[in-house]
Chains A and B, each alone.
Chain A
Amino acid sequence: MIEISNVSKSYGPKIAVQDLSLHIPNGELFAFLGPNGAGKTTTIKMLCGLLFPTTGTVRVGGFDLRSHGDQARALVSYVPDQPFLYEKLTGREFLQFTADLYAMPRDRAAEKIDEVIDLFHLDEFVDDLTERYSHGMRQRTVFASALVHDPKLLIADEPTVGLDPKSIRELKTLLRKLADSGTTVFLSTHTLDIAQELADRIGIIDRGRLLGCGTMTDLRKHAAMDGNLEELFLKITEVPGVEITV
């Protein structure tokens, strides 16, 4: 589903991502970890087609994001850490807008809207204007809209921020279920226990470089130590690097 080949991305003289290659098959739940400023969000933005690589290619579902971006984006849903909603739309109207944007047939859209309202327990507030929503309500609504059109790839950046423990539990179950049903999930998070619990594979990026990628067993081998993900993460990212500039 995701093919990132030799991708580098520069912000002026600063290199945010350097020579990144990553292949993620259909139905995998991939957790992308890294310290602040490591290049996670830049990678996600390139996967969504918001930014283009300086060198290399990013393909989603076989479509190159640069030359066939519209087709690639039709397969993707992105849940950012700062969710965007139209303040003067109700949650239901926002879901309808998303369904229309993804060209869902009316009947199917109505069915799916009801389904995600139920799934994310939006029924109590879904007909209120979103300007009155709390952060958690906004996050749930954005998740619902991300899933309303059955995406092939779900990208979530810090999806648990602002959610209560019960919602986090439900979200974790849902993400696993989505991956099991064939949807690829690309998850960026700082919450290491969620990554360890859910992910099929984990990628660790720091200073724009992919330092390690694989299952927990692979990472343990890579770090040459046993332990949980937190210990592995600290070990892998502890090597002091120099900021890369051109």
Chain B
Amino acid sequence: MLIHDQSRPGRRARAQAPRQAPAMTEIPEDLRRRAPPPLPAVSEMQVVRHYTRLSQQNFSIDTHFYPLGSCTMKYNPRACNSLAMLPGFLARHPLAPDSHGQGVLACLHELQEMLKAVTGMHAVSLAPAAGAQGEFAGVAMIRAYHLAQGDQGRTEILVPDAAHGTNPASAVMCGFTVREIPTGGDGDVDLAALEAMVGPQTAGIMLTNPSTVGVFERNIGPIAARVHEAGGLLYYDGANLNAILGKVRPGDMGFDVIHMNLHKTFSTPHGGGGPGAGPVGVCERLEPYLPVPLVAFDGETYEWQTERQRPDSIGWLTAFGGNMGILLRAYVYARMLGREGMVRVSEFATLNANYLLARLRAAGFEAAYPARRASHEFIITLKREARELGVSAMDFAKRLLDYGYHAPTTYFPLLVPECLLIEPTESETKEDLDGFVEAMIAIRREAEEDPEKVKGAPHDQPVRRLDEVRAARQLDLAWKPSTGSEKGDG
């Protein structure tokens, strides 16, 4: 039942609005609304009960193992939330003077410095509001750099075929043409194909390392050398930074510009799909182009730097300079981990992934890249199960929900058939990993004995499989007061 269906005219949460509504005589009649907006009219308790019940219809890290590949669903420490929500931080207006923000600015400056150190980059801006915005900023800096060199002919960005969809989309938003590089059979970039594509038209290459197929790109040295030799720049997609945190630094691998997903590696909440934070780091020659604002510190006072101090900046990405509350959560997490803790993140994320892979292989599941170590994540392919039992990766994923495990990422990357991309993260116990393996074995047994049970899954969730074709064709995107729901063919 929607909150709208519980609405009754005349009811409201009376404690929550100002006592009186002053007359609005100064606002001309023709600019006023004819009737109040049709928002739900409900009591405070109805609101609390409704949204508490809705929350109970979600899987979450706090309730379930969530091995969602490429998403790094690790534990979100509660202290990060409560300390970022201290009243002094929440009450600060974005346009308050720096004099009334030395506390928050100190945290942000130290976060900038820690991110520089752990990635090996020359400078960091915290401005991008999410990974995709970090990508946009990174590619925009590549563009700004080449234009500043008077190099107008660099119109292409190279992207591996297995890359996240945001990579090509971000490159296009910056006005580039995207060329896809094939992935070799061992999971590494196909060097011969790369060689054929690199040239004076190459603005840069966007890489994730470890890559989206869950292995470390061993040829990163030669790739960096080749692209740099051709005058291009290297972009690091930090989606998989959790795998190498404190072990290998993108700056040492030769990357010129990177973004980090703090909602992955630095454990800020996913919140049902955001907010994220996507800081960017750069090498020295790209520093002038960083998005503003940045926090500067003269040894005594912290201050925001804007385009006034940084005239070559690619500019602002949001009105007020970024998701400060998320950055504060990441700061608390980074300080609690410290330098030893950061290294342990990648070590235990990698241990958990390789253990889970070893156990699944021992149970007869097929690894997509059996000759390779797993990074913090790995791919198994269910093509044999699909062929012999008629049960797809999607069916396994849906049945896992009934066993109390969130599904791994399915059908990404697209080049591996019937794939599950599995990322356990460092915060899971051995017992939870063992439980997941047992569930996978049990589901395969069901697929052999009673395949319809798996194909019809899930059975124990609030709803069964949803008709997505109907959802896209008979668009019902909003409740409407007149008809109860909006119907039509959009």
Q: Do chains A and B interact in one complex?
A: no
Interface, chain A (partner B; CB < 8 A): none
Interface residues of chain B, those whose CB is within 8 Å of chain A, are none
